[in-house]
Structure 1
Amino acid sequence: MIRRGLIGVKRTANARFGPLQAEGRLQRVIRSRSVLVGKKRSLQPKNVWSIRVRLEMSGAIRELALFNLAIDSKLRACDHVRLRGEDLWSGSSVRDRATIIQKKTKRPVQFEVTEQTKATLVAWLPFVRRSGGSYLFPSRRKTSQHLSTRQYARIVQRWVTSIGLEASAYGTHSLRRTKAAQIYKKTGNLRAVQILLGHTKLESTVRYLSVEVDDALRIAEQIEL
């Protein structure tokens, strides 16, 4: 389908600009589509640190809580924006671990809450209570109770561009993938990552992390039956 689309672009460009200019335009389209089509990249540890420091320095408590919890939870955007205070709090303290039911699979998934994330949630809680709602990240629009996935995506785009990354290469799935990718890189434990991401099939985790054949074979070679 992409190939047919590019052929159409080439024909249109040839008719409008001539062969020489058309070739240049086609190459630009190919480069742009190679970024837009496919999986969004995960953030590197240095990227996480850079975004976190910028948010801390600007005093953006809401976005810092949103960012830190996105990294820890590894949730899909649709689940992340629907988190409620009761999901994270136990009495007056933030839980060490939280469990939610995923919207996509209707299955439970558990995630850890690090001390760094707890601190930002504690700082953010007074603002949540002031809003009078139950959602952890209430919308600033009257038409919705919680932050929408579209609003969340725009916030993520702002974060990545603020540290000089290409906006089109990153998205909300970048945050979901970030910690999972690091866990896999350090342990090679696909099953653990599958559980943390809430995938029902290991094949989904392999595709999600873009595990290469060599990686898969290396893991298989370590198992003897």
Structure 2
Amino acid sequence: MGHSEYDPSFKERRAWNAGRKLGAKRALKPQQVWAVRFWLDREGRVRDRAMFDLAIDSKLRGCDVVKVRIGDLVSGGRVRSRAIVIQRKTGRPVQFELLEPARASILAWLDCRGGALDDFAFPSRTNNAAHISTRQYARLVDEWVSGIGLRREDYGTHSLRRTKASIIYKQTGNLRAVQILLGHTKIESTVRYLGVDVEDALMLAEGTEV
């Protein structure tokens, strides 16, 4: 099935990736993070604000964000300052921090959402026993970034995963710390993920006196 490259019509066919932006999506800048938060608060989107804050602080992949359960986030009636989940991709645990803005927005959402500790924090609209789909999560991220005037083609769910990791790396230059926070098994994966190159290395070296 399909077309042969020798078919006359083949030369007229538009490439599947024509006009699309491929490769790594951009991380958000700190001012853009706060702009999204302000937009979500103004729109009254309590669930989305909690999901956004969790994604930024946790640095989890989208497939892990949507599967977080209430019990992963709450202990003794309070939102944890540190939580741990098992990554779907690697099967390995990863620990993350939840700062005050995230704890407050998550608590506000859970007060509205209710539910038991075993329930998903972000349930599906069609089946309350299931979690929101990764596809719906991706659509929400598109709405969030376009809501503050960014091009949705430049950003995605991985942008949220990369945001805090990129900021930490730029402030500290500590690849090992970022590797642990992202749950990468190899430092090479972290280097590729952050786009670390020779220019980054030279800038770090130039800022270090011996």
Give the TM-score category using the shorter length. 0.7 to 0.9
Any runs of at least 4 consecutive aligned residues in structure 1 with deviations exceeding 3 A, and if so which? 8-11, 130-133, 216-222
Larger radius of gyration: 1
Q: Pick 1 or 2: higher relative contact order, CA cutoff 8 A, min separation 6.
A: 2
TM-score, length-scaled by structure 2 = 0.87
User: Which of 206, 216, 221 in structure 1 is aligned with 2:191?
Assistant: 206
Asked if structure 1 preserves the Cα contact closer than 8 Å seen for 2:70 and 2:116, the reply is no
Any idea what the Cα deviations from partners look like across 1:10-59, whole Å, max 9, x if unmatched?
9427xxxxxxxxxxx99x94xx24x2x11011111111111100111122
In structure 1, the residue matched to 2:12 is 12
Kindly tell me: are residues 11 and 113 of structure 1, through their superposed partners in 2, closer, same or farther at Cα, counting changes over 3 Å?
Answer: same
Tell me the SS of whatever aligns to 1:147: coil
In structure 2, the residue matched to 1:112 is 97
Write the mapping of 1:87-98 to structure 2, written as runs, cut at 5 A. 87-98=72-83
Structure 2 letter corresponding to 1:12: E
Asked if structure 1 preserves the Cα contact closer than 8 Å seen for 2:96 and 2:181, the reply is yes
Kindly tell me: are residues 219 and 137 of structure 1, through their superposed partners in 2, closer, same or farther at Cα, counting changes over 3 Å?
Answer: same
Write the mapping of 1:51-200 to structure 2, written as runs, cut at 5 A. 51-130=36-115, 134-142=119-127, 145-200=130-185
Structure 1 letter corresponding to 2:97: E
Q: CA deviation at 1:139?
A: 0.7
Considering fraction of residues, name the structure with more helix. 1
Gaps of 5+ in 2: none
Structure 2 letter corresponding to 1:181: S
Distance 1:161 1:178 in 2: 17
Tell me the SS of whatever aligns to 1:57: helix
TM-score, length-scaled by structure 1 = 0.81
Q: CA deviation at 1:143?
A: 8.5
Kindly tell me: are residues 214 and 84 of structure 1, through their superposed partners in 2, closer, same or farther at Cα, counting changes over 3 Å?
Answer: same
- Equivalenced residue count is 202
